[in-house]
Each structure stands twice: as C-alpha cells, then as structure tokens.
Amino acid sequence: MEIASFTIERVQQGLRAREFSAAELAREALRFAEAENPKTNAFLHLCPARALAAAARVDEKIARGEDPGPLAGVPVAIKDVIVTKGVRTTCGSRLLEHYVPPYDATAVTRLEEAGGLVLGKTNCDEFAMGSSNENSAFGPVRNPIAPDRVPGGSSGGSAAVVAQGTAVVSLGSDTGGSIRQPASFCGVVGVTPTYGRVSRYGLTAFASSLDHIGPFGRTVHDAAVLLGAIAGRDPLDATSAEAPVPDYTAALDGQVKGLKLGLPVEYLKNLTSETGDLIARGVEVLKKQGCEVREISLPATDYAIACYYIIATAEASSNLARYDGVRYTRRAVGADTLSEMYRATRGEGFGAECKRRIMLGTYVLSAGYYDAYYLKAQKVRALIARDFSRAFEQVHVLVAPVSPFPAFKLGEKIDDPMEMYLSDIFTITGSLAGIPCLSVPCGKTAEGLPVGMQILTRHFDEPTMFRLADAFEKAGGAAGL
Amino acid sequence: MSSPIVDLVPPEMIARYEPVIGLEVHVQLATATKIFCGCPTSFGAPPNANVCPVCLGLPGALPVLSREAVELAMKAAMALHCEIPPVSRFARKNYFYPDLPKGYQISQYDEPLAVRGWVEISLEGAARRIGITRVHMEDDAGKSIHDGFKDSDRYSYVDLNRCGTPLIEIVTEPDMRSSDEAYAFLTELKQVMQFVEISQCDMEKGQLRCDANVSVRPKGAEQFGTKAEVKNLNSFRFLKMALDYEIARQVGVLESGGRVVQETRLYNPDTGETVGMRSKEHAHDYRYFPEPDLVPLRISEEWRARVRAEMPELPAEKRRRFIESHGLREYDAQVLTATRTLSDYYEKAAAAAGDAKAAANWVMGDLMGALKAEGKEIAESPVSAGALGELVALIGKGEISGKLAKEIFAKMFSTGEAPAVIIEREGLRQISDTAALEKIIDGVIAANPKQVEQFRGGKATVLGFFVGQVMKATRGQANPAAVNELLRKKLG
C-alpha cells in the first residue's frame, strides 16, 4: 500500500474492491506512522487499540452490507488539544503530561461515527499558543518538506502528519491562524470553518470566542469531506450554529467563472517578494478561470494584531486558570501553603509563552484597564467584522496570502515574540470576524518551500470557499499559469 | 448573647445614629439539575458523585444554560417586582480557590437578569418598600472541608457535588434602617421565594445565604457613612445579632473620634462579634469579562408572558384579598399565608365551607392545634381541606352542632374519614325535625312536673334544665335552637 499518498477516495476504493480491509489499513497506517514519526516528531502518541477497534466496526458494517460512512477506514490524526476518552490529551503541556480525559470531543465522536480511525494525537504548541510548534513541552515538530524548518503552529503536528503521509487527514484547531499557517508552511489544505460551524465541545479552550476546530487534508476534497462529517449543531456547545450542513463535496464542480474576487490591499504590502509573486501568479490563474478580480480595502487591518492579542490573551488568562494543581493537573511538590502550591505548580508547569499570555491577559482585564484594553479591542473587532461585511457586498470571496513568509528555521524567531506574532498578521482578521477561510497550496519558493493561498468567504459560505480552492488546486495552483 | 464592645456603647449613644443597611442574598434555585449541565442537585449524595466533565471544569467542557433555572430566576424577579430586560449576559468572575474547578464563576455582571424591584415589609403595622437593585444568576462553587479527616492537619478535602448548583443573587438598595427591618425583609423574601417555589430556602443546607452592607450616620445627616460588609450571616438570628453588633461597633468607633474603615468583616457566632478580614484576603480583582462560551440570554415577550402566567398569587396579594374579601383580621391573614401549602389548604377549605371566616377559625384552631400536637406539617394533615370545609358547611347548615363538630373532627383526624361517613356510621346527624323533637320534649315535660311548675312560676333558668334533658335524650344530636323554641312554646 502506498499509504503516504492515499486520499479518502483511494481508501474507499480499496475497501470497496476488497483490496484491503479497514483492519489491514489501520495496522499498516500504525506501522508506517511509528516508523516515520521520528523524522518529524509530529505524533505525540498513537492509540492503536482505539484505531483497531474502530477499524473492526467498519469491517463489520461492510460485511453486513451497511454504509460504513464517508470516512470509513480513513486514518485520522487529532491535535492533542482535542480530548479523547481514554487516550492521553496533553495539550503540549507538562501540566497535562499524564492527563487521560473521561470523554470524547464531539468532533471526535462524529468522525468515528462516520467511520474514521483515530490513529493518534499530534504535537502542538502548548495550549495552542504559538506559530512554530516550538512551544511544545514535548519537543518541536520538524517540517516534513524541510526538516531544519518549523511546520508552523500551533497545529504543526496535524499539518505535518498530512504532509508526511502518516495520516490521510487530521483535525487541528485555529484561534488566530493555527490551521491555515501550518497548512501553508507544510503544503497541505487547512480549513478554519465559520465560528460555530463545528462544536467546540472537547476542544481545550485557549480563547473561546476565537477557537475553531478544522480539518487538514492533502486535497480540498478530503478537507471538505472531513468538515462535512464533523460540522453541525451540538447541544453541548451553546455557541454552535443551527444552520444546516450542506454537502460540501457537491460544491467541487469547477464553476468559478464570474466569481468576484477581492484582493485586500492592506495584505499585499510587507510580503517577501517570493510569497508576493506566488500569490500574484495564483490570482492570474484564477483570472484565467474566469474570475473577476478587484482590489478591496480592509482599513481596520492595522489594528488586528493588537486587538487579537488583547482578546485572545484575556480569554486565555481565564481559560488556563483551571490548571492549578488541585485536580488533574500535575501538582508541584514541597509547597506548604495553597498559594505556594498554585505558584509552584503553574510556575514549573507552564512554558514561557503561556506565562507571557496569562500575564498579558490578566493585565488587560484588571480593574482600571478593562475599558482601555479589552473593551476597546472588542470595538476594533466589530470594525474588522464590518470591513469584511462591506467587502462581501462587493465580492464573493477574498483572496490573500496566509503568511508573510514561508516556513522559517527552527529557533529563528523563538526569542522574538513580536516577530513571531507577525506570522499571523493575515490570518487573525478572519478569525476575529469568525468567517470561513482556508489555505490551499499556491506554489513553492525557489528553495522548495510551500506557500499557501488564503480564501475567505461570508459566514457559512464554505461551499464557495471550497469551490474556488478546488478549482485552483485542479488548475495546479500558481504553476497552472 | 451580647459582647463586650456592644455593652460599652450605651443605647442612648446608638440612638443618636441611624443605621443604613443593604443586603446581598444568595438563593439556591430548586431545579432538578445544575445550571450548566445535567447533573442532579440532590443534597446528601456521597462526595463527588453528582459531577460530570462540565461541572468538574475538565479541559474542553462547555456550559449550556438550563432553561429551568432561567425560568425560576425569572419568577424570582417577577415576585420581587423587577424589570426583566430583553437581553442579559453572563460574565466570568475570576479567582483561584480549590473548590472552584474552572478558576472562575459564571455569573452576571453589568447586564443582569433583572433590575429595579421592591419588596414590601410591614413592621409594627407600618408598611415600607425595600428597593431591589438587581437579581442575577450564577453557578455555585463546591465545598472545601478543612477538618474531620485524620490528615486534616495537612490536607483539605474538596466535594464538588454543589459545584454548578444554580443560584440567584438578590442585591437590595441601602434602604433598611434597623436590624429589625433587615430581619423583616429577609423573612418576607424567604416567604416569597418559598411561596413561588423558587427555593426551599433552607439556611442549614446553604439554600439561603446573606451578606450585609452596614454603615451608620448621625440622625438627620444626608451623607451615608463608610460601610463595612458583614459576611457569614447563616441564620436569621445571626443576621440580627451581627447587625446590632456592627451598628454598635461603628457608633463606638465614631464616638471615640475614630473612622470606620471600608472592609469585609466576618461574623463569629461563637463570640457574637464581627472581625475584620485581612485586607489581602478580600482585595480581589475579579477581572470580570463577558462569558464567551455562552450566547447572550434573550428573553422574548412570549417567554416572559408564559412564565408570568405560571406565577401564583404572591403572599402579600393573598393577605390583602383575605382581609378585603374574606373579612379576615390582619393577624389571621398573616398566619394563613405563612406558606403556600397552608394558604392553598385554607382556600380549598374556605371554598368547601362556604364561610371563609369559620373555615379560618377551624384551620388555625383545631387543625393546626392537632397537627402541632402530633408534630405534623400541614402537607401531612390526615384531614383534607375539602373534608374540613365540608364539616364547617354542616355546622353552617345547622345539621350538626359546634360541639358535635369538634367530636367529629377528632375522629376525622385519627381516621382520615370524611365527616359524612362518620356521621352516617355513628348516627350523629342533628335532629331538627320538629315532629321528632316534639315527641321527645313531650316525654321530658311529662317526666318532670315539678320543674314545669317552677318554670311556670317564673323561674326562667329552669329552661336550661329542660334543654339539658332533651340533649341527653338525643345523645346531643338535637338542634339546640329548635329545642329552645319548642320548649318555650310548650311550657309557655
């Protein structure tokens, strides 16, 4: 089996033709992941028992002549901030090194109901805070395309396993670009759906009003199938949307002629020339397909980073309070009083980036500063959302770069938080507005580093986003010029 | 219990000042399940049994607001005559404590469920309205247990069964001017909450908790004094004692040239004193911000109307009605509206009796006396409201005498039978039939010629003797009025 290049379609074909059973596929996928993982450190741990049990259920269904589901037999990797019953969920943190959740995230339940096989849990920045995967307590992930470079973050492991071929698809989480940026760095498709489209139940919270679960795939089609399986209203998440889930694969029809695309002028400055050139060529390809392109202004963009790092850190400071050493968190030893125990546990347990964000967030919510920071940031967030709704009065879709630069070297930016935060400059606006956006491979730099193109649409208009991305992918990306 | 400091401040000194009191009252809503998850709220389960990922605050778990809790909170707001805005919002109140597993409480902050209401209290016959500033919803924390275990010197234990229990916090205006008013307010509040079945308000189970903000100012002064917040007022008695202590303490401080410090003070029921908490412990900055895991709570006109339609008549309204249309005295109306069960019982009995006043006397007299003697609650009464009403109706119709009714009632109370059943079985129906009575009276007259002589000779009191003889002959079943009338006719 050439499992490293399998798509969902290929898995289903193999199962239908009795070329292999789901159990055989699961065993091969586990073996391959185990053998290849040392190259990237993308998986933190595998869960063979769970994968094999799910495979057995798929094989039984096939034997009984039942529909085994749209993800039947598909090996899926899960970012380790998404909880899995009976399978360790560390969030990339020392504090949860031995934590085994007693329940499954809704997205995990749903993808297993659709026949998916949970292969294992992927590495990530601690509590999803970072843009390079270097903030993991369990070591960084190497980019499968260029092993001396980062895979992006925070869902670096989930992007890397798909690029490396050790999983067919994966789930990541995106708060400010944590799916799209690593997808761009690793040359795969990564989707941040509309806020509320996928239940957050079981997603360890970083910044609740910005957190999304979304899929990675080697093709737009695979990402669309996985999203279709996990999307939809969940009574366990009060912020999940009632809107019905369309068949996303039905949108992959190539009908992009006449689609109006907007290029945000604010995004096109400050690009490395290579990224800028690739995006420009990608846009030409879309024009050739019959899309109409015009420039669009999103004037509030300049305030997006400041706005994001206030709201996200404020929510994080509260969400991370529960890791206090009292219950499941690893507790520091030797403390004599309660407050000493809190300090020692959190002081030893959290990495530098988490501490930085907890302090920032605590500060912006403090009495006397709330109005100046948090409240003002909420107003800016509303302006950013307004920019997008105005843009979408003129165009169907926005096309933009994902990151100002391709994958950088391990260690290159880790000591400069501001430089690191700028990695997210083009992705956080979409997160703040809660609109669907994805990264689709656009092309490669002269050094062979992937560059992704970002496609953003209106709330719940995932079909148009997938339609354009699929047409672009089939045209060969920027190389299709 | 009084304490040294209070004793040192003479009453005439205290009398020169006016206390200003506001209360913050937490009421546990009587829902079957917790506010943000489906765990039961039952009291007394083994520690950490009524828990799930949501109320344990496990990574990834999310709150979902209980509709039942919102409706009870809406009823509380309606009972307190509050306005319920169309949108309210939940907020996180952040602080660290071992029995607070999320590290924050989900409460409401700048957009509470309800605002601007009032409660009427009546003190020595004078009615006064106490303003309600706001009513908001929140989840309760768990319980830390610091002693009772053999390693309690080194460890505290945490029970999270209570964690996530729905609460409302009711904040009053600084409208109370004495500890008696505060006591009356809390009494009225508790009664209303029980009446509308919002809460059982059992203080021992922590279902009703009260903190007080207290200050004093010289009588006639406009400006409020500096307030202290007094916590740990876990019974009505403690509330009054703590307030009296704190008022005297503040007067003492001012009279000796000092200044009252704004602080949180803990009431110690063992000493009867309030003690300032170390400033570090209450210097909390809760860093409130809107709860991103919950959408704003929108209350539509329809929803509001539906909940309003389920509201029972409030005790104060009931009292007014009992006085005005049932003709009860104020005291009786008070007694009969003490609880929802009692007032329901009374109303049913009154309707069946056709005489509201007589029904009131029977309920408050014979029934409550008998219940008290057996240590029973009204809900456990062996005599149903309908049966008691029927008994009262029989007296009204002259079918049984009041004396006989008391005997019948005693039998009803011990057997639970309806009065008609007892009357039928024991043949106790009152004899009002003139022909039957005439026969008996004729016999009595014939048997007592000497007394007939005396009566006719002008000794009117002998009539009583004849009535007694007739009653004896009828085993008390003769209608006394009819007997009197017939005797006069026949003897006269």
Domain span at residue B54 reads 4-302
Task: State whether B350 and B392 are in the same domain.
Answer: yes
**Contact call for A200 and B62, based on CB within 8 A:** yes
Tell me how close the Cα of A106 comes to any Cα of chain B, in angstroms.
Answer: 10
Do B96 and A366 count as a contact with CB atoms less than 8 A apart? no
Residue B307 lies inside a defined structural domain of this protein: no
Q: Which residues, 6+ apart, have CB-to-CB distance to B364 below 8 Å?
A: B332, B335, B336
Determine contact, residues B422/B428, Cβ cutoff 8 Å: yes
Of B65, B103, B287, the CB nearest to A365: B287
Residue A207 domain flag: yes
Within-domain flag for A360: yes
Nearest C-alpha neighbor of A22 from the set A85, A69, A80: A69
Interface residue of A210, A313, A319, A362 to substitute, partner B, most B CBs within 10 Å: A319
CB–CB contact A321 B62 (8 Å): no
Tell me if chain B has a CB within 8 Å of the CB of A369: no
In a domain, A326, yes or no: yes
Residue of B nearest to A361 (CA): B287
- A215 and A118 belong to one structural domain: yes
Q: Is residue B167 part of a domain?
A: yes
Domain termination residue (choose one: B393, B426, B459):
B426
Instruction: Please give the Cα distance from A406 to A445 (Å, whole number).
Output: 8
Q: Which of B59, B62, B103 sits opposite A318 (nearest CB)?
A: B103
User: Is residue A287 domain-shared with residue A314, that is, in the same domain?
Assistant: no
User: In this structure, is residue A301 part of a structural domain?
Assistant: no
Domain-located, residue B332: yes
Is residue A178 among the annotated active site residues?
Answer: yes
Query: According to the model, what pLDDT value does residue B480 have?
Result: 78
Instruction: Please tell me whether residues A274 and A171 are part of one structural domain.
Output: no
Same domain as B317, residue B193: no
How many distinct structural domains can be found in chain A? 3
Indicate the pLDDT class of residue B436, thresholds 50, 70 and 90: confident
Given the residues A131, A178, A317, A431, the one annotated as active site: A178
For this structure, is A158 an active site residue? no
Of B60, B285, B288, the CB nearest to A201: B60
Q: Are residues A209 and A345 in the same domain?
A: no
The whole-angstrom separation of Cα A358 and Cα A350 is 10
pLDDT band at B278 (very low <50, low <70, confident <90, very high): low
Q: What whole-number distance in Å separates Cα of residue A470 and Cα of residue A256?
A: 10
Residue carrying the six token digits 């992959």: A252
CA distances from A234 to A244, A401, B58, B145 (A): 12, 32, 18, 37
> What's residue B5's pLDDT?
60
Largest separation between any pair of C-alpha atoms in chain B: 103
CA distance A336 to chain B (A): 9
Q: Taking CB atoms and an 8 Å cutoff, what residues of chain A touch B295? A: 238-239
Question: Given A205, A238, A362, which is nearest B65 (Cβ)?
Answer: A238
Range of the domain at A425: 260-296+379-433+452-479
What's the pLDDT score for residue B4? 55
- Three-class SS of residue A169? strand
What type of residue is B249?
A: R
Is B292 in the same domain as B169? Answer: yes
Q: What's the confidence (pLDDT) of residue B491?
A: 80
Question: What's the CATH number where B473 sits?
Answer: 1.10.10.410
pLDDT along chain A (481 residues), means of 10: 93 96 98 98 98 98 96 98 98 97 98 98 98 97 98 97 98 98 98 98 98 98 98 98 97 97 89 90 96 96 95 98 93 91 96 97 93 96 98 97 96 88 91 98 97 98 98 95 83
Q: Which of chain A's residues have a Cβ under 8 Å away from the Cβ of B103? A: 318, 320-322, 324
Residue B1: predicted pLDDT: 45
Asked if residue B350 and residue B284 are part of one domain, the reply reads no
Name chain A contacts of B163, Cβ cutoff 8 Å: none
What's the rounded Cα separation, in Å, for the pair B19 and A289?
81
Enter the pTM of the model.
0.90
What is the distance in angstroms between the Cα of A367 and the nearest Cα belonging to chain B?
A: 6
Q: Are residues B255 and B223 in the same domain?
A: yes
Closest chain B residue to A374, measured at CA? B289
A297 close to B (CB below 8 A)? no
- Of the candidates B281, B302, B323, which is a domain's last residue? B302
Residue A198 and residue A79 share a domain: yes
Calculate mean pLDDT across residues B396-413.
86
Inter-chain contacts counted by CB atoms under 8 A, chains A and B: 97
Q: Is there a single domain that holds both residue A276 and residue A314?
A: no
Q: B374 and B264 share a domain?
A: no
Instruction: Tell whether A331 is covered by a domain.
Output: yes
Helix runs in B126-230, H state only: 179-195
Asked if residue B355 and residue B224 are part of one domain, the reply reads no
Q: Note whether B139 and B224 are same-domain residues.
A: yes
**Residues B162 and B250 both lie in one domain:** yes
Are residues A190 and A213 located together in one domain of the fold?
A: yes
Instruction: Give strand ranges (E) for B297-430.
Output: 297-298
Nearest to B196 by CA among B86, B59, B78, B276: B78
The pLDDT assigned to A2 comes to 87
Contact B289 A370 (CB under 8 A): yes
Kindly determine whether residue A82 and residue B98, on different chains, have CB atoms separated by under 8 Å: no
Runs of H (alpha helix) within A195-303: 220-230, 265-268, 273-288
Residues A325, A415 within the same domain: no
Among candidate residues B405, B426, B447, the one where a domain is terminated: B426
Average pLDDT over residues B332-355: 92
Whether residue B60 and residue A321 make contact (CB cut-off 8 A), yes or no, is no
Q: Are residues A35 and A137 in the same domain?
A: yes
Q: Are B170 and B80 in contact (CB under 8 A)?
A: yes
Shared domain for B76 and B195, answered yes or no, is: yes
Name the residue among B62, B94, B288 with its Cβ closest to that of A236. B62
What's the structural domain count of chain B? 3
Q: How far is B281 from chain A (nearest CA, A)?
A: 12
DSSP string, A119-134: EEEE--SGGG--SSST
Which band of pLDDT confidence, cut at 50, 70 and 90, is reported for residue B7? low
ipTM of the complex: 0.96
* Local structure of residue B378 (DSSP, 8 states): G
Tell me whether residue A369 is exposed, middle or buried, using C-beta atoms within 10 angstroms of its C-beta: 0 to 12, 13 to 18, 19 or more. middle
Radius of gyration of the CA atoms of chain B, in A: 31
Q: Are residues B69 and B93 in the same domain?
A: yes
Do A290 and A325 reside in the same domain of the chain?
no
Of A238, A362, A365, the CB nearest to B293: A238
Contact A362 B292 (CB under 8 A): no
First CA to last CA distance, chain B: 70
* 3-class secondary-structure state, position A206: coil
Interchain proximity A239–B103, CB inside 8 Å:
no
Using beta carbons and an 8 Å cutoff, which residues of B are at the interface with A? 53, 56-65, 92, 94, 96, 98, 101-104, 158, 285, 287-289, 292-295
Contact A203 B60 (CB under 8 A): yes
**pLDDT for res A481:** 83
B295/A238 Cβ within 8 A: yes
Residues A46 and A179 in one domain: yes
Same domain, A219 and A169: yes
Residue pair A175/A128 in contact by the 8 Å Cβ criterion: yes
| In-domain check, residue B145 | yes
Q: How far apart are the first and last CA of chain A?
A: 34
Asked about A257 being catalytic, the answer comes back as no
